[in-house]
Structure 1
Amino acid sequence: MPLLDTYAPPTGRHDELLDVDGKIRLQWRPLLARMESLGVDGLNARAQLVADSILADGISYNVHAEGQEARRPWELDPLPLVIAPDEWQQLSSAVAQRAAVLNALLADLYGPQHMLAEGLLPPALAFGQPGYKWPCRGIAPPGGIFLNTYAVDVARGPNGRWWAIADHTQSPAGAGYSLQNRIILAKTFPDAFRQLQVRPLSDYFRTLLDSFARLAPAEGDPPLIVLLTPGLGDDAYFEHAFLARYLGYPLVEGRDLTVRDNTVYLKTLRGLRRIHGILRRLEDDLCDPLELRTDSAVGVPGLLAAVRAGRVLVSNALGSGVLESGALFGFLPGIAERLTGTALAMPSVASWWCGEAAALDHVIEHLDELIIKPAFSDMSLPAVFGHDLKGAEREAMIARLRAQPHAYVGQEWIRMSQAPTWGANGLQARTVGLRLFAVATPDGFAVMPGALGRVAASPTQEVLSMPRGGTSKDVWVRAGTPVRRASLLKRRLGVIDLVCGGSDVPSRVGDNLFWMGRYTERSEATARLLRATLGRLSSGEDDDDSCLPDLLAACHQMDILPHEPAADASADEREKDVLAAVCDPMQPGSLANMARQLNYSAGQVRERMSSDNWHALNRMSRLFDQPLRSVGQALAAVDRAMLDSISLAGFALDDMTRDEGWRFLILGRRIERLYRLAALIQIVLSFTDDARDRSLEWLLEASNAIVTYRARYRRTPEVLPVVHLLVFDDTNPHAVVFQINELDSELDRVARDLGHHRTDALDAMRAALHQFDLTRFEAENSSAACHALAEQLAKIADDTSALSENLHERYFTHTAPDARTH
Structure 2
Amino acid sequence: MSEAITESITPELSQLCRGYSSVAGHDEMCTADGDIRSHWHYLMQSLNGMGSGELQRRREEAWRLIRDNDVTYNIYGDMDSTSRPWKLDLVPLLIESEEWRNIEAGLMQRAELLNLVLLDLYGPRNLIKKGVIPPELVFSHPGFLNPCINMPILDSRALTFYAADLVRDASGQINVLSDRAQSPSGSGYALENRLVISRVLPSLFRDSHTHRLANFFRTSRHALNRLSPREGEEPNIVLLSPGPANEAYFEHAYLANYLGYTLVEGSDLTVRNNRVWLTTLEGLRPVDVILRRMDGAYCDPVELRGDSYLGVPGLTNVVRSGNVAVANPLGSGLLENPALISLLPELSKVLLGEELRVPSVPAWWCGDKLQCDYVLENLDRLVIKPVHPSIGFRFVFCAEMSKAKLEKLRQQIKAKPHLFVGQEAMTMSTVPILARDGLKPRHTVLRSFLVADEHDYMAMPGGLTRVSSEDNKLVVSNQAGGINKDTWVLATEPEKYVSLLSESRQARLAPDRGGEVPGRVADNMFWAGRYAERAESISRILRLVLQFIETGESEETQVFRRLLSTLTNQLTPYPYDSAAEDFNALEAEMMNVISGRMNPVSLTQTLFSLLRSVRSVRDRLSSDTWRIINLIDEELGSLRGISAQNLIDAMDEQDNLITALTAFTGLTLENMTRGRSWRFLDIGRRIERTLQISRLLQTTLIQESSEEDQILLSDSMLTIVDSLMSYRRRYRYGIKIPELLDLVIYDENNPRSLAFQLSKLERHIADLPQENESGSRNELERLTLETATLVRLADVNRLAQVNEDSGRRETLENFLNVLNTRLPALSDALTSTYFRTTETPHQLISLRSRVEQ
1:9 corresponds in structure 2 to 22
Q: Does 1:77 align with 2:89?
A: yes
Kindly indicate whether the alpha-carbon contact (under 8 Å) linking 1:201 and 1:448 is maintained by their aligned counterparts in 2: yes
Q: Is 2:682 the partner of 1:670?
A: no
SS of residue matched to 1:144: coil
Instruction: Report the Cα distance in structure 1 between the residues aligned to 2:446 and 2:422, rounded to whole angstroms.
Output: 21
Question: For 1:761, which of 783, 807, 813 is the aligned residue?
Answer: 783
Deviations 1:560-591 (A, max 9, x none): 58421554566674345334423446533222
Indicate conservation of the 8 Å contact 2:106/2:356, yes or no.
yes
Q: Deviations over 1:460-488 (max 9, x none)?
A: 21111223232112111111221211011
Counterpart of 2:170 in 1: which secondary structure? coil
Distance (Å, rounded) in 2 between the aligned partners of 1:186 and 1:572: 57
TM-score for the superposition, normalised by structure 2: 0.91
The percentage of counterpart residues that share the same residue type is 36
How far apart, CA to CA, are the structure 2 residues paired with 1:798 and 1:179?
A: 50
Distance 2:801 2:106 in 1: 90
Equivalent residue for 1:636?
A: 652
Contact 1:585/1:596 (<8 A) preserved: no
What letter is aligned with 2:348? Answer: A
Task: Output one character per residue of 1:723-753: Cα deviation in whole Å (capped at 9) or x when no partner.
Answer: 1111112221111122222211211122569
Distance 1:649 1:753, change over 3 A: farther
One-letter code aligned to 1:713:
Y
Aligned to 2:127: 115
Aligned partner of residue 203 in structure 1, secondary structure? helix
Match of 1:645 among 641, 651, 661: 661
The 5-angstrom pairing of residues 122-521 of structure 1 reads: 122-491=134-503, 498-499=510-511, 502-521=514-533
Structure 1 Cα separation of the partners of residues 508 and 449 of structure 2: 31
1:574 correspondence with 2:574: no
Amino acid at match of 2:739: P
* Structure 1 residues 774 and 383, CA gap change in structure 2 (3 angstroms): closer
Residues 570 and 83 (structure 1), Cα distance of their counterparts in 2 relative to 1, 3 Å cut? farther
Q: What is the CA–CA distance in structure 1 between the aligned matches of 2:800 and 2:824, rounded to whole Å?
A: 32
The AA in structure 1 aligned to 2:785 is D
- With 462-471 and 609-618 compared, the bigger mean Cα shift is at 462-471
Task: Report if aligned partners of 2:704, 2:807 keep a CA contact under 8 Å in 1.
Answer: no
Using the TM superposition, give the Cα deviation of residue 215 of structure 1 relative to its aligned residue in structure 2, in angstroms. 1.6
Contact 1:375 1:408 in 2 (8 A): yes
Closer, same or farther in 2 for the Cα pair 1:492/1:771, shift >3 Å?
closer
Residue 680, structure 1, aligned to residue 696, structure 2: yes
User: Structure 1 614/784 Cα, relative in aligned 2: closer, same or farther at 3 Å?
Assistant: same
Structure 1 pair 523–394 and aligned structure 2 pair: CA distance change class (3 A): closer
Counterparts of 2:192 and 2:26 in 1: how far apart (Å)?
A: 28
Change (3 A) 1:687 1:561: farther
Equivalent residue number for residue 544 of structure 2: 532
* Cα contact 1:145–1:440 (8 A) shared by 2: yes
TM-superposed deviation, 1:189:
1.2
TM-score, length-scaled by structure 1: 0.95
Q: In 1, are the aligned partners of 2:704 and 2:802 still within 8 Å (CA)?
A: no
1:820 equivalent in structure 2: none
- The SS at the match of 1:547 is helix
Distance 2:648 2:96 in 1: 56
- Paired residues of 2:703 and 2:809 also in contact (CA < 8 A): no
Aligned length: 815
Q: Using a 3 Å threshold, how does the CA distance of structure 1 residues 362 and 781 change in structure 2: closer, same or farther? A: closer
TM superposition shift of 1:788: 0.5
Provide closer, same or farther for how the CA distance between residues 284 and 192 of structure 1 changes in structure 2, counting only shifts above 3 A.
same
Inter-partner Cα distance in structure 1 for 2:141 and 2:237: 31
Aligned partner of residue 761 in structure 1, secondary structure? helix
Return 5+ residue gaps in structure 1 as ranges.
816-822
The answer to whether the 8 Å contact 2:28/2:429 transfers is yes
Find the partner of 1:710 among 700, 703, 728: 728
CA displacement at 1:352 relative to structure 2: 1.1
Alpha-carbon distance between aligned partners in 2 of 1:164 and 1:394, rounded to the nearest angstrom:
26
Whole-Å separation in 2 of the counterparts to 1:240 and 1:494: 21
Contact kept, 8 Å, 1:586 with 1:593, in 2: the verdict is no
The answer for the alignment partner of 2:75 in structure 1 is: 63
Aligned-partner Cα distance in 1 for 2:740–2:122: 75
> Which amino acid is the alignment partner of residue 265 of structure 1?
W
Aligned partners of 1:384 and 1:39: how far apart in 2? Answer: 41
Supply the distance in 1 between the matched residues of 2:142 and 2:513 (Cα, whole angstroms): 44
Q: For residues 493 and 737 of structure 1, what CA distance do their matches in structure 2 show?
A: 40
Rounded Cα–Cα distance in structure 1 between residues aligned with 2:507 and 2:421: 55
Distance 1:263 1:216 in 2: 13
Question: What is the CA–CA distance in structure 1 between the aligned matches of 2:735 and 2:807, rounded to whole Å?
Answer: 19
* 8 A Cα contact 2:704 2:808, kept in partner: no
Q: Which amino acid is 1:809 matched to?
A: S
Structure 2 CA distance for aligned equivalents of residues 288 and 781 of structure 1: 64
What amino acid maps onto 1:275 in structure 2? V
Give ranges in structure 2 of 5+ residues lacking alignment: 1-12, 839-853
C-alpha spacing 1:351/1:528, structure 2 compared with 1 (3 Å): same
Q: Distance in 1 between matches of 2:300 and 2:486?
A: 35
Are residues 562 and 609 of structure 1, via their aligned partners in 2, closer, same or farther at CA, if it must alter by over 3 Å? farther
For 1:726 and 1:107, locate their aligned partners in 2 and report how far apart those are by CA, in whole Å. Answer: 69
Cα gap change, 1:515 to 1:780, in 2 (>3 Å): closer
Kept in 1: contact 2:296–2:332 (CA 8 A): yes
CA distance 1:567–1:15, change in 2 (3 Å): same
The whole-number CA distance in structure 2 between the counterparts of 1:697 and 1:490 is 54
How far residue 809 of structure 1 moved from its aligned partner, in angstroms, is 0.3
Query: In the TM superposition, what whole-angstrom CA distance separates every residue of 1:105-132 from its partner, at most 9, and x where no partner exists?
Result: 1001111112112221111111222221
- Check whether the contact 2:528–2:614 (CA below 8 A) recurs between aligned residues: yes
Deviations 1:95-114 (A, max 9, x none): 11111100011001111112
Q: Does 1:93 pair with 2:105?
A: yes
CA deviations on 1:440-472 (whole Å, 9 max, x unpaired) are 011211101121111112222111122323211
Structure 1 SS opposite 2:637: coil
Name 1:797's counterpart in structure 2: 820
Matched, 1:747 2:765: yes
Give the one of 671, 694, 697 matched to 1:655: 671
SS of 2:390's partner is coil
Corresponding residue for residue 722 of structure 1:
740
2:97 maps to amino acid: P
Q: Distance in 2 between matches of 1:621 and 1:510?
A: 22
Is the 1:166–1:324 contact (alpha carbons within 8 Å) kept by the matching residues of 2? yes
> Aligned equivalents of 1:632 and 1:164: distance in 2?
58
Aligned to 2:52: 40
Contact 2:282 2:769 in 1 (8 A): no
**How big is the shift at 1:295?**
0.8
Conserved 8 A contact 1:538-1:631: no
Does the alignment pair 1:786 with 2:809? yes
In 2, the alpha carbon distance for the partners of 1:143 and 1:625 equals 50
Q: Which deviates further from its counterpart, 669-678 or 368-377?
A: 368-377
Residues 1:761 and 1:402: Cα distance change in structure 2 (over 3 Å):
closer
Q: Aligned partners of 1:45, 1:494: CA distance in 2, in Å? A: 39
> Match for 2:333: what amino acid?
G
**1:144 Cα deviation from its structure 2 partner:** 2.9
Distance 1:592 1:491 in 2: 43
Greater displacement, 773-782 / 670-679: 773-782
In 2 relative to 1, CA 460–262 (structure 1 residues): closer, same or farther, beyond 3 Å? same
Match status 1:738 vs 2:756:
yes
What's the CA shift string for 1:368-390, capped at 9, x where partnerless?
A: 33211112343331222232344
Alpha-carbon distance change, 261 to 781 in structure 1, aligned in 2, over 3 angstroms: closer
Once the two structures are superposed, residues 493-517 of structure 1 have per-residue CA deviations (whole angstroms, 9 ceiling, x without a partner) of 7799733661111010011111111
